[in-house]
Amino acid sequence: MTDPDDDKLYSNVTKRISVSLPGAVYQALDGIIKKQGFENRSQAIAEIIMARDSQLEQETGNRITAAVITLVYDVTKGNIQKELAELQREHIDEVISTLNVLLEDNHVMEVMIVQGPGRKLRALANRFISRKGVRTGKLTMASQIMPPIHPLPQSHLDQQVPYESPTL
């Protein structure tokens, strides 16, 4: 049986593996190395694995993260704009801001800034992307979070000055 502490002891020790790749994947790897300036294949593969591991942790974990959901949809398909707006209202705590850009042929690109647990953002993105009329969609997670914008702490609400209407 393996001692769990062994993994901790050897976490920084380089391990050697052998990988077999189809020719096209091998060429793609060499292209990545050239485009990104990696010193060797090992460095490139390690970076790719760590990036994917980080992405999976963000998408499946409960860590709070900021993200962008990008949709392209056809406005002539049903009530797509109304459905998307209703879904945004249902998730007002996660949807921070949206931007709509009119495209050609009755299409709109909608960009939503969202924040919340990675697992919840992935589920939310899937709900948006799977709507009838959405042509394409993508969730892009950031490695950092935004400063909180709401809700205000109760102590702050208690200190607010009551609203007085202006005198005319």
Per residue in 98-157, pLDDT (tens digit) is: 999 999 999 999 999 999 888 899 999 999 999 999 999 999 988 777 776 655 555 544
DSSP 162: P
Angle, helices 41-60 vs 118-129, to 10°: value is: 80
Distance CA 103, CA 72 (A): 9
Nearest residue to 94 (alpha-carbon basis) of 120, 72, 60? 120
Give the predicted TM-score (pTM) of the model.
0.62
Which of the given ranges, 40-54, 121-135, 152-166, has the highest pLDDT on average?
A: 121-135
Indicate the fold that domain 64-141 takes in CATH: Alpha-Beta Plaits (3.30.70)
